[in-house]
Amino acid sequence: MSFINSQIHLVSRPTGEPGLDNFKQMDVAVPELLDGQVLVRNHYLSLDPYMRGRMNEGKSYAQPQPLNQVMLGGTVGEVVASKNAAFSVGDQVVGMGGWQHFFIVDGGQRGVLQKVDATHIPLSAFLGAVGMPGVTAWYGLVKIINPQAGETVVVSAASGAVGSVVGQLAKARGAQVVGLAGGAEKCRYVVETLGFDACVDYKQHADVKSLSAALKIACPNGIDGYFENVGGTILDAVMSRANAFSRVAMCGMISGYNGEPIPMSAPQLILINRMKFEGFIVTEHMDVWPEALKELGALVATGRLKFRESVSEGLASAPEAFLGLLKGRNFGKQLVKLV
């Protein structure tokens, strides 16, 4: 059996906002499998803010995405051919399949391809609430913020793949949970469907002062924990309401990904309020994944953890969907459906 593989490559690096011309789609033949290899057909591709960081050449926490190669990205799919005893045709798997229809991996490399059990969990959820975004939420909330019952936890990008899980996990631990999201529809979803105590529409607030005033109303007891997905003026506003001994999990700073660094206005508050800030990358904490996935899988399978997906159709739609993600146009976990 021979396959034609469509791929999307990064062909130039953006300065500032990326555009469609940074990407190029092309078709290549899928080579024959070698011993030990597995061929996977990707069903869903995950689009994530971290990809913007990798499009830059400069120093970051990860190697830059190479030019003229297929864009990296997490995928779920199905094994369509295997020369590896550990994988059979029909197995459902999660891996770093990239922006393409097919990918070949050495099935013996540890952790590169994971079988998943989608009996009670939708396959796409392994890219979201029961995948990297879910574990990211779990790590920052449980290991850094560690909320105590009655404390107030604030989450930015609250309707997104990570933020929505952070808030629901914090609620389950007895915290007061306040989201930040862009627009009335997202805010309504965060409160009514996800069960947050309140949600502030940051688009209604042009400056730090206005946003800080809104947070004062939403968080009458101040802020004890903040899960940072955004950065910029939102971080400044949250810091203005931070309590003594508050914790900030620095997970993403999407507002700075396009290359304009956004200063923190009042770093002295870290001292004045004896705050703790901690940046983290969830793939560096593989030891917590089993514990986190166990809790997340059980919550999703029993319907107690809600999530929402924004699904764009077809590989060719990936660049446009990715640019939309960077502008906050998605509503829930951004996926690309490939079959």
Footprint of a second copy (CB under 8 A): 53, 59-61, 228, 231, 235, 244, 250-253, 256, 261-268, 270-281, 284
- Least distance in angstroms from the C-beta of 148 to a second copy: 17
Of the pair 174, 259, the CB lying nearest a second copy is at 259
SS3 string, 65-122, reads CCCCEECCCCEEEEEEEECCCCCCCCCEEEECCCCECEEEEECCCCCCEEECCCCCCC
Q: Which residue has the tokens 């094994």?
A: 79
Written as one string, the DSSP assignment of 291-306 is: HHHHHHHHHHHTT-S-
Which strands, in side-by-side order, build the sheet including 4-10?
A: 23-29, 4-10, 69-70
CA–CA dist 171, 290 (Å, integer): 21
Given a contact cutoff of 8 angstroms between Cβ atoms, the answer to whether 156 and 229 are in contact is yes
CA–CA dist 257, 271 (Å, integer): 27
Of the pair 26, 272, the CB lying nearest a second copy is at 272
Other beta carbons less than 10 A from residue 278's beta carbon: 13
Amino acid at the residue 213:
A
- Least distance in angstroms from the C-beta of 256 to a second copy: 5
- Least distance in angstroms from the C-beta of 55 to a second copy: 14
Q: Cα 247 from chain centroid?
A: 20
Of the pair 84, 246, the CB lying nearest a second copy is at 246
CA–CA dist 135, 165 (Å, integer): 9
| Residue 69 token pair | 């190669």
- Least distance in angstroms from the C-beta of 96 to a second copy: 20
Of the pair 190, 292, the CB lying nearest a second copy is at 292
CA–CA dist 309, 35 (Å, integer): 37
Of the pair 112, 244, the CB lying nearest a second copy is at 244
Q: Which residue has the tokens 């951004």?
A: 334
Residues 6+ apart with CB under 8 A from 114: 93, 94, 95
- Least distance in angstroms from the C-beta of 258 to a second copy: 11
- Least distance in angstroms from the C-beta of 54 to a second copy: 12
CA–CA dist 142, 300 (Å, integer): 18
Q: How far apart are the first and last CA of the chain?
A: 18
- Least distance in angstroms from the C-beta of 142 to a second copy: 16
- Least distance in angstroms from the C-beta of 91 to a second copy: 34
Of the pair 230, 305, the CB lying nearest a second copy is at 230
Of the pair 27, 245, the CB lying nearest a second copy is at 245
Of the pair 154, 253, the CB lying nearest a second copy is at 253
